[in-house]
Amino acid sequence: MSTDSQQNTHRSSALEFKSSTFSVPVLVLASNDVVIIEQQLQEKVQLAPEFFKNSPLVFDLQELNKRDVEINVAELTHIIRKLDLLPIGIRGGTAQQNQQALELGIPIHAGHNMSAASGTEKQQTPKPEAVFEPQAVSAATTTLITLPVRSGQRVYAEGDLIILAQVSAGAEILAEGNIHVYGSLRGRALAGVLGNTAARIFCSDLQAELISIAGNYKISEDLNGTVLNQPVQIYLQNHALVIKDI
């Protein structure tokens, strides 16, 4: 450390390596006919010329290699460059294609789960333990709250949320699962916040400022007199919130 700082007194560091992630369009090829590729790629580019102009691009040959269809990497690169796109990588190529790409100054991206070189070992069946994972998630613990949730307070539950007191106006309760409020619900209640459309909200007295299930929401103004101050359940049906008495 001391030597570093001594060096730094003489000259500050001119460079530094940092890791970064970029979002780059990937061109997945389904045909090796370069004429058709050029034609269709040109059509795509014309849809949004400003977006594609000088855009970096990675081309993906996995689909072709699955079917053992050969393509000339040099020709493909030429077409891409002609359309003002900048190829910055190859993915899913065979050893030979990768070598061709490197000679053209195009780096190789590993990508996909399988190694790029082994063209035959594709479409691995999903690991069996993956099937059990959702069950583990749905077993997330239930959060129980016995005191009033006051204005300005925020409660987040990873599973279901049960509140045995009131939720004041200006309070916010969120759950990845269902929400039960055995008291007046005057604040904001958001169930299924990670997109669980089967989540429901149950409350014994609906006066909420906002209710939401998986992002579909209604504000207090949308609640009509027949459901206000009533014990209700709220659920999602065809992307619409349904409020029904219990």
Partner 1 sequence: MARIIVVTSGKGGVGKTTTSAAIAMGLAKKGHKTAVIDFDVGLRNLDLIMGCERRVVYDFVNVINGEATLNQALIKDKNCDQLYILPASQTRDKDALSQEGVGKILEELKKDFKYIICDSPAGIEKGAHLAMYFADDAFIVTNPEVSSVRDSDRMLGILSSKSRRAEQNEDPIKEYLLLSRYSPDRVKLGEMLSVDDVQEILSLHLLGVIPESKSVLSASNAGIPVILDEKSDAGQAYADIVARYLGEEKPHRFIDEKKGLFGKLFGGK
Looking at beta carbons, which pairs linking 15-24 to residues 24 or more positions away fall under 8 Å?
Answer: 22/56, 24/56, 24/57, 24/58, 24/88, 24/89
Nearest to 212 by CA among 182, 229, 187, 231: 187
CB of 112 to partner 1, least distance (A): 48
Binding mask 159-178 for partner 1 (x = CB under 8 A): ------xx-xxxx-------
List the one residue from 28, 30, 144, 147 that touches partner 1 (CB under 8 A).
Answer: 147
Q: Which of residues 177-206 bind partner 1 (CB under 8 A)?
A: 184, 186
* Closest distance of CB 230 from partner 1, Å: 16
> Could you tell me the CA-to-CA distances from 178 to 85, 153, 156, 200, 214 in Å, in that order?
48, 19, 12, 5, 11
Q: CA–CA separation, 204 vs 212, rounded Å?
A: 17
Nearer to partner 1, 117 or 165 (CB): 165
149 binds partner 1 (CB under 8 A): yes
Residue 211 C-beta: closest distance to partner 1, Å? 19
Span interacting with partner 1, options 46-54, 103-111, 115-123, 147-155, rule CB under 8 A: 147-155
Task: Assign residue 123 a region (left: φ > 0; alpha: ψ between -120 and 50; beta: otherwise).
Answer: left
Give the residue carrying structure tokens 């077993």.
Answer: 139
Q: Report in angstroms how near the CB of residue 187 gets to partner 1 at its nearest.
A: 10
- The stretch among 20-28, 68-76, 100-108, 145-153 that binds partner 1 (CB under 8 A) is 145-153
Question: Does residue 34 sit in helix, strand or coil?
Answer: helix
The nearer residue to partner 1, 186 or 200, going by C-beta atoms, is 186
Q: Minimum distance between the CB of residue 232 and partner 1, rounded to whole angstroms?
A: 19
Per-residue binding string, partner 1, 102-141, x by CB under 8 A, is ----------------------------------------
Which of residues 56, 152, 195, 231 is near partner 1 by CB under 8 A? 152
With b meaning 16 or more CB within 10 Å and e meaning fewer, what string describes 194-209?
eebeebbbbbebbbbb
Stretch of 36-44, 50-58, 142-150, 228-236 lying at the interface with partner 1 (CB under 8 A): 142-150
Compare residues 168 and 233 and give the one whose CB is closer to partner 1. 168
User: Cα 235 vs. chain centroid, distance in angstroms?
Assistant: 24
DSSP state of 113: S
SS3 137: helix
For the sheet with 26-28, list strands across it. Answer: 26-28, 56-60, 86-91, 108-109
Q: What does the binding site for partner 1 look like in residue numbers (CB under 8 A)?
A: 147-153, 165-166, 168-171, 184, 186
